[in-house]
Amino acid sequence: MDWFPLPKPLCWRPMIRAERAAYIDRRLAELYPAPPVPLVHHDPFTLLVAVLLSAQCTDVRVNLVTPPLWALADTPEKMRRVPVAEIQRLIRPCGLSPQKAKAIAGLSGLLVDQHGGAVPRTFEELEALPGVGHKTASVVMAQAFGVPAFPVDTHIHRLAQRWGLSAGRNVVQTERDLKKLFPREHWNQLHLRIIFYGREHCTARGCDGRGCGICRAVFPHRRRAVKTKK
């Protein structure tokens, strides 16, 4: 990726964390002005199931698996009537299919019995559903309901460390740090922008904190590779 020139006043000294965050925010908005949601879906329920399936699986694979699943059942009412074994058969390529199939069947039943067939709009209610953790709930709140959230996946965790935005050893701390750095109204699109940049440019193996355009811009004199803290 081409070098991105820094504002002149910042060229003669290292950037502080807030300056790096502001630069990254602007640059990613230029690169990805309208980032799409990577998981194909058509309503909150299909997004919820797709995000659940994406755990330890690529979005590309999930998007191949979900069309046959939606053809069979694309509402909680329909999904709760599908045998767990049939759900598992369809989602097997995503990995962890026994656990995911049970979770999909279980949450579908709870949505019908406790929420009138609708996906709830609070973190607490979402995280009470089978197989739904904080990251999954955050994606649904952000992308289905427009509530500011900052879901942190492996790409965001890795880049936050490479860019000196967080020293968190886990995604919980990284999320907390990023929320403090960036405007709340930017969170929903920014987390997608970071994901796309991490997949296309600052990849796990293709950049070590010194190779991509943003890494070179915010740390132009970095000499050592950055090892991600899990």
| Catalytic pick among 74, 100, 135, 177 | 135
Q: How far apart are CA 220 and CA 216, in angstroms?
A: 5
Q: Is the dihedral of CA 199, 60, 175, 168 positive or negative?
A: negative
Task: Please confirm, yes or no, whether 59 is among the known catalytic residues.
Answer: no
Contact between 193 and 25 under an 8 Å Cβ cutoff? The reply is no
Would you list the DSSP string of 156-189?
HHHHHHHTTS---SSHHHHHHHHHHHS-GGGHHH
Q: How far apart are CA 71 and CA 164, in angstroms?
A: 44
Q: Is the dihedral of CA 107, 129, 69, 97 positive or negative?
A: negative
Backbone dihedral angles phi then psi of residue 166, each to the nearest 5 degrees: -155, 145
Q: How far apart are CA 180 and CA 135, in angstroms?
A: 18
| Catalytic pick among 59, 153, 208, 229 | 153
Task: Please confirm, yes or no, whether 135 is among the known catalytic residues.
Answer: yes
Torsion from C-alpha of 190, 191, 197, 200, nearest 10 degrees: -140
Query: Which residues participate in catalysis according to the annotation?
Result: 135, 153
